[in-house]
Structure 1
């Protein structure tokens, strides 16, 4: 990204310097030829008269000027002063314009991203990407957003959100997002083929990365999973399911939505990893002391080592193969459960 910004700045600088030089050549040529034809002097004398006119140094005329020559000299002075103002504006705009600001902002942003770890990468900041970023920030996660549209790639108010202007399909951009130290990536580009390419590239660069992708066409889902995505989700399908639920069972939709969507509400779903030496390993769920030690957190599901998910586990379930707990509770309950499961087992 920094290289792209630098190239953009140097390109604009070169074009504007050429514009300034072209303007200077035009004014000088205008004055030189005018004095040459009007006063019948040599080209060198005409050039000298032009220079002292447009620079307004006030050295005086080297030859007596006719009435027409003096009128022409006035026009040359006005043209020279105007050109100087235009050149100054071009130079000022080059120094202070958005391109240079973005270049230095990009350098600071990339430096900050280099020190990140256990963060999430969101490719695309459209409607879906912005929603993902907002949800992750609400959960207290660090997020790097990669966006190709320069108008969307802007600094965020949240200090845990970092923006990169670049093409998420390119290796160097994903490297700039520190993908090797990230723990998850979501790609929400508008074209399914681009999302497949991002998934392929990301999986190759970080085999342990958790990857999710959106898709539009049904045939793309299998390709995304083959490319290495952990989950492939269609916003249209999910939207249809939620609309149907809102019609058929609005109360259930409200129960599902509130923990995720309502700001300020303490109840939330969370995943708690279970270490191998955790004190709950080998116990039955009813004797694990999870509810007592977590001050009432509700276990709604378990994830086993083979990836299978057990919802609403039986109280007799033995916690031998569990790798994660799916919990419903407030911040304090979830934090207490994490301390119990991790600290006691270390």
Structure 2
């Protein structure tokens, strides 16, 4: 209720000032016309009489005598008193509003100064609200820049969450806050140009700041990267990937297997043979439910041969891969997409002839139980 009241006062005060000026001009015109025709004064004296009567000065040099003159003078004086009270009230209201804004702004800056560290979030729209929930869930301090006050009506501020209704592209405050105490700047507005200006504003004075920016158009990736963004994220691209994976689920297989690094190429020959795509690989550390994931997204045999040659030419890479396989007891899962379910079934049958298949479409929890048994067996 307090926010709504403040919002109404802020909007209405400007309207009242404009209306006040119009009413003063109308009353002044009324006073001049009435003085000229009712009081019988010339134009200069009419202006003079209208002003002193409206201001309730009343020098007495012109005194109304008839009833119509007295009625005119009374209405002009009452109108002047009412307008003076009105204008004074508007000025006082605006002063109180400005003092309130100054006081709230000072309190917010004090709260930010008291934070040991914080994240800066630019934009509290559809994506920004999701980012805020994730940060808040992890009990992080957050400073939000959002110029649209309507988006912030339901936001509840606290000592760890401060919102500043400022335009980050026009206010240098964001550059000052993106210093040593700032863990990261997250830019989540939907406008790439706005994001670019914010990145430039911050990077100009904070070369070490870690900046993560949202980007909507593919052609703007390089621009934001050159401007100084450390990481770029496209919700549109991520959303498209999720839509594809959901649509491919009837033809998507998670195959948990156990084999050595030397058998990688033989395995990939089978995957390529059936025109399937190796989407990614999950490496299952014994006893840990969440796996290490690695994106692959390849279906061409040339990619498999190229990787095999790379391992042969780089002993360190081969040694690192063997250490990884050793740490997971050679157990890992392949996410494989194919043209249809029958093709995937044929692929599994052929793979069973050359490697150990632990299971199909197992959950991380089920695989963690299997890896625990591997540890106990050792």
209-218 or 111-120, which moves further after superposition? 111-120
User: Equivalent residue for 2:133?
Assistant: 134
Q: 2-side partners of 1:222 and 1:50: how far apart?
A: 66
SS class of match (2:74): helix
Instruction: Please report the RMSD computed on the Cα atoms of aligned residues, expressed in angstroms.
Output: 4.5
Shift in Å, 1:82: 3.7
CA change 1:231–1:143 in 2 (3 A) is: same
User: Equivalent residue for 2:77?
Assistant: 77
CA deviations over 1:307-345 (Å, ceiling 9, x no partner): xx99x955649xxxxxxxxxx99xxxxxxxxxxxxxxxx
**1:54 and 1:76 in contact (8 A); partners too:** no
**1:117 and 1:182 in contact (8 A); partners too:** no
Q: 1-side partners of 2:198 and 2:50: how far apart?
A: 63
User: Equivalent residue for 1:144?
Assistant: 143
SS class of match (2:150): coil
CA change 1:171–1:301 in 2 (3 A) is: farther
CA deviations over 1:217-263 (Å, ceiling 9, x no partner): 1121233233332321111111122223334449x9xxxxxxxxxxx
Q: 2-side partners of 1:174 and 1:180: how far apart?
A: 13
Please, what TM-score do these two structures have when normalized by structure 2?
Answer: 0.54
Shift in Å, 1:149: 2.5
User: Equivalent residue for 2:210?
Assistant: 210
Q: 2-side partners of 1:27 and 1:122: how far apart?
A: 51
Q: Pairwise mapping of residues 1-346 of structure 1 onto structure 2 (< 5 A)?
A: 27=27, 30-31=30-31, 34-35=34-35, 37-40=37-40, 47=48, 51=52, 55=56, 63=63, 65-97=65-97, 100-152=99-151, 156-159=155-158, 160-170=160-170, 172-249=172-249, 300-301=291-292, 313-314=324-325, 316=327
CA change 1:128–1:53 in 2 (3 A) is: closer
SS class of match (1:151): helix
Unpaired stretches in structure 1, ≥5 consecutive residues: 1-11, 253-285, 303-308, 318-327, 330-346
User: Equivalent residue for 1:280?
Assistant: none
CA deviations over 1:144-196 (Å, ceiling 9, x no partner): 11123343356831412111222323461213534442011111223223323
12-21 or 103-112, which moves further after superposition? 12-21
Unpaired stretches in structure 2, ≥5 consecutive residues: 1-11, 253-284, 294-319, 329-363, 366-378
SS class of match (1:183): strand
**2:122 and 2:146 in contact (8 A); partners too:** yes
**1:155 and 1:163 in contact (8 A); partners too:** no
CA change 1:139–1:59 in 2 (3 A) is: same
SS class of match (2:202): helix
SS class of match (1:226): helix
In our comparison, the structure showing a higher alpha carbon Rg is 2
Q: 1-side partners of 2:46 and 2:199: how far apart?
A: 70
Number of residue pairs aligned between Structure 1 and Structure 2: 259
CA deviations over 1:7-38 (Å, ceiling 9, x no partner): xxxxx999988986786576467436634553
Q: 2-side partners of 1:41 and 1:194: how far apart?
A: 62
Q: 1-side partners of 2:163 and 2:178: how far apart?
A: 12
Q: 1-side partners of 2:132 and 2:172: how far apart?
A: 22
CA deviations over 1:96-146 (Å, ceiling 9, x no partner): 44x553332222212322333431111111111121112111111111111
Q: Which has the higher helix share?
A: 2
